[in-house]
């Protein structure tokens, strides 16, 4: 299995972080040290590296569909004014057929561009008839033509149907060439655009950031390369996402929900065993069904069949197991996945902290998922090490501790510990010292 290394330097609270992602990686440290920042930017880089072309297609689809929508508005205006001149319904149907759906890919862009040119010729013929119709006011003709000219790049504007067809055809060809060039170039400029447009990330990008696959940095020379042995990242910052009204504002929650609802067609024996374990823990299972509004919704069904609750209504600790159940059931956890979870122990009963740690170890061992965990819970950290050792995967389990590099605690360096968790426990002991201090002091 491939090894990965992710590095960030001099970014917010992070002075230095050089993280090996080999099997299970545990990031320990105080609040505000940058653990979540590491997970978030690791997610971004994997996501964009694996889906670069998909983001290009999204932008291309938006431009093309906007162009077609504006032509559609012009056709409705033309057809409404003079039905005898313009065969508007046929052209509108052509537009509906041309609008791009989720199945479109760069591999079919040449064929699609040919169809666009045929449509432009068909539309230009109807536009020419409209512009030369004697029973249409000249002001009306100018109005339609001016509206169509708004779709054209550059200063040159069309004054007749042939000129419009030529200019819009050149623009369509330029759009095709541009998206294909960007697919080859994979510029960090486009990475920045994707971050802002599709991942809703407004913060400055770390100036010193690197992601290596088998020792090769995929971020270099102003470009981002491809990942050969990863095809997705999943980032879970809180199981509370299921119960929050503003989940649509958070791209991580949106995507997690989508993965939990959509099957990916994988039901091998390892998955079935893990699902059985989680069902035993939950004393029930998670089902997906259509709501009264036609949307897919997730429900918890107790083993005895006497309790059925929407997923957002169950205990928060149960949600932590529920999202793993759905990700496994739908086939999204495999050896080409990096799963990142922030502080998974926060909403769990102490007994379940250990149970959850064991489940993660078994997921890693059974499915080959690379897992990155941020934690400040001594029981969870100890459980990860002990169970990893028992399951014979300790060699691929790496612990890191964020240590302050200044007296004010503003910046932290993540120290690699290998499998030695003693320094982590020493940092946790500070809390015990504070308890002793405050307990002995008259506040």
Please check whether residue 251 lies inside any domain of the structure.
Answer: yes
Please check whether residue 129 lies inside any domain of the structure.
Answer: yes
Q: What percent of the chain has pLDDT over 90?
A: 63
Does the pLDDT of residue 243 top 60, yes or no?
A: no
Please check whether residue 225 lies inside any domain of the structure.
Answer: no
- Rounded CA-CA distance 202/416 in Å is 30
- 157 or 369, higher pLDDT: 369
- 68 or 409, higher pLDDT: 68
Q: What are 288-315's pLDDT values in tens digits?
A: 987 767 778 899 999 988 898 988 889 8
Domain boundary residue, one of 185, 205, 239: 185
**Sorting pLDDT into bands at 50, 70 and 90, what band is 370?**
very high
Domain boundary residue, one of 185, 205, 222: 185
Of the ranges 63-67, 94-98, 130-134, 168-172, the best mean pLDDT one? 168-172
- Rounded CA-CA distance 312/316 in Å is 8
Contacts of 387 (CB under 8 A, 6+ apart): 357, 358, 361
Query: Is 238 found in the same domain as 94?
Result: no
Please check whether residue 423 lies inside any domain of the structure.
Answer: yes
Structural domain count, the chain: 2
Mean pLDDT computed over 47-61: 96
Lowest-pLDDT choice from 73-87, 180-194, 274-288: 73-87
Give residue 441's pLDDT: 60
Torsion angle in degrees (nearest 10) through CA of 175, 180, 186, 192 = 20
Query: Is 248 found in the same domain as 166?
Result: no
Q: What are 181-215's pLDDT values in tens digits?
A: 999 999 999 999 999 999 999 888 999 999 999 99
Give residue 19's pLDDT: 98
Query: Is 398 found in the same domain as 259?
Result: yes
3-state SS of the chain: helix, strand, coil percent to 5? 55, 20, 30
Give residue 78's pLDDT: 83
Query: Is 296 found in the same domain as 236?
Result: yes
- Rounded CA-CA distance 272/274 in Å is 5
Q: What are 419-440's pLDDT values in tens digits?
A: 999 999 887 665 556 666 666 6
For the chain, the average pLDDT equals 89
Count of beta carbons in the 10 Å neighbourhood of residue 379: 16
Does the pLDDT of residue 159 top 80, yes or no?
A: yes
Please check whether residue 175 lies inside any domain of the structure.
Answer: yes
Please check whether residue 201 lies inside any domain of the structure.
Answer: no
CATH classification of the domain holding 430: 3.40.50.300
Query: Is 407 found in the same domain as 293?
Result: yes
Domain boundary residue, one of 185, 218, 251: 185
Place of tokens 């069949």: 305
Asked if residue 377 lies in contact with residue 357, where contact means CB atoms within 8 angstroms, the answer is no
Please check whether residue 124 lies inside any domain of the structure.
Answer: yes
Give residue 242's pLDDT: 56
Give residue 365's pLDDT: 97
Query: Is 156 found in the same domain as 26?
Result: no
Does the pLDDT of residue 86 top 50, yes or no?
A: no
What is the phi/psi pair of residue 232, to 5°?
A: -165, 155
The two beta strands, 232-236 and 4-11, are unpaired
Does the pLDDT of residue 80 top 90, yes or no?
A: no
Mean pLDDT computed over 370-388: 95
Query: Is 75 found in the same domain as 28?
Result: no
CA 244-248-251 angle, to 5 degrees, is 110
H helix or E strand, kind and range, residue 223 = strand 223-224
Place of tokens 């432009």: 120
Give residue 431's pLDDT: 58
Give residue 100's pLDDT: 81
Longest CA–CA span in the chain (Å) reads 98
Query: Is 305 found in the same domain as 160?
Result: no
Query: Is 366 found in the same domain as 242?
Result: yes
Query: Is 102 found in the same domain as 65?
Result: yes
Does the pLDDT of residue 235 top 60, yes or no?
A: yes
Q: What are 322-340's pLDDT values in tens digits?
A: 999 999 999 999 999 999 9
Q: What are 4-40's pLDDT values in tens digits?
A: 999 999 999 999 999 999 999 999 998 899 999 999 9
Query: Is 110 found in the same domain as 35?
Result: no
Does the pLDDT of residue 163 top 60, yes or no?
A: yes
Query: Is 271 found in the same domain as 174?
Result: no
pTM of the predicted protein model: 0.90
Does the pLDDT of residue 85 top 50, yes or no?
A: no
Q: With helix as H, strand as E and coil as C, how does 140-209 read?
A: HHHHHHHHHHCCCCCCCCCCCHHHHHHHHHHHHHHHHHHHHHHHHHCEHHHHHHHHHHCCCCCCCCCCEE
Structural domain harbouring 179: 57-185
Give residue 94's pLDDT: 79
- Rounded CA-CA distance 374/368 in Å is 19
Count of beta carbons in the 10 Å neighbourhood of residue 394: 19
Please check whether residue 52 lies inside any domain of the structure.
Answer: no
Sign, Cα dihedral of 223, 226, 230, 235: positive
């Amino acid at each position: 299995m491939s090894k990965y290394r992710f590095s960030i330097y001099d970014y917010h609270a992070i002075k230095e972080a050089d993280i090996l992602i080999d099997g299970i990686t545990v990031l320990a440290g105080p609040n505000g040290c940058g653990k979540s920042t590491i997970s978030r930017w690791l997610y971004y880089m994997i996501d964009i590296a694996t889906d670069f072309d998909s983001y290009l297609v999204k932008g291309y689809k938006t431009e093309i569909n906007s162009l077609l929508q504006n032509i559609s508005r012009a056709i409705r205006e033309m057809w409404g004014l003079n039905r005898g001149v313009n065969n508007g319904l046929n052209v509108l149907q052509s537009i509906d057929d041309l609008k791009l759906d989720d199945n479109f890919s760069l591999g079919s862009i040449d064929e699609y561009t040919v169809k666009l040119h045929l449509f432009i010729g068909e539309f230009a013929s109807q536009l020419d008839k409209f512009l030369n119709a004697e029973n249409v006011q000249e002001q009306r003709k100018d109005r339609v033509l001016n509206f169509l000219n708004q779709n054209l790049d550059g200063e040159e504007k069309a004054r007749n149907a042939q000129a419009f067809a030529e200019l819009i055809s050149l623009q369509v060809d330029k759009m095709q060439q541009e998206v294909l060039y960007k697919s080859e170039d994979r510029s960090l400029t486009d990475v920045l655009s994707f971050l802002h447009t599709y991942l809703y990330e407004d913060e400055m990008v770390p100036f010193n950031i690197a992601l290596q696959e088998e020792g090769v940095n995929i971020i270099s020379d102003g470009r981002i390369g491809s990942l050969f042995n990863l095809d997705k990242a999943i980032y879970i910052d809180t199981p509370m996402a299921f119960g929050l009204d503003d989940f649509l504002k958070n791209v991580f929650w949106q995507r997690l929900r989508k993965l939990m609802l959509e099957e990916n067609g994988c039901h091998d024996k390892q998955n079935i065993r893990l699902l059985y374990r989680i069902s035993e823990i939950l004393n029930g299972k998670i089902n997906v069904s259509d709501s009264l509004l036609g949307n897919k919704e997730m429900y918890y069904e107790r083993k005895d069949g006497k309790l059925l609750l929407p997923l957002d209504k169950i205990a928060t600790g149960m949600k932590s197991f529920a999202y793993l159940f759905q990700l496994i059931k739908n086939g999204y956890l495999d050896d080409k996945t990096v799963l990142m979870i922030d502080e998974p122990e926060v909403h769990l009963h102490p007994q379940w902290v250990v149970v959850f740690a064991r489940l993660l170890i078994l997921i890693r061992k059974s499915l080959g998922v690379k897992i990155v965990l941020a934690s400040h819970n001594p029981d969870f950290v100890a459980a990860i090490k002990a169970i990893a050792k028992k399951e014979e995967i300790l060699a691929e389990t790496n612990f890191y501790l964020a240590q302050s590099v200044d007296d004010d605690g503003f910046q932290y360096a993540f120290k690699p510990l290998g499998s030695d968790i003693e320094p982590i426990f020493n940092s946790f002991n500070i809390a015990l010292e504070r308890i002793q201090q405050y307990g002995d002091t008259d506040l």
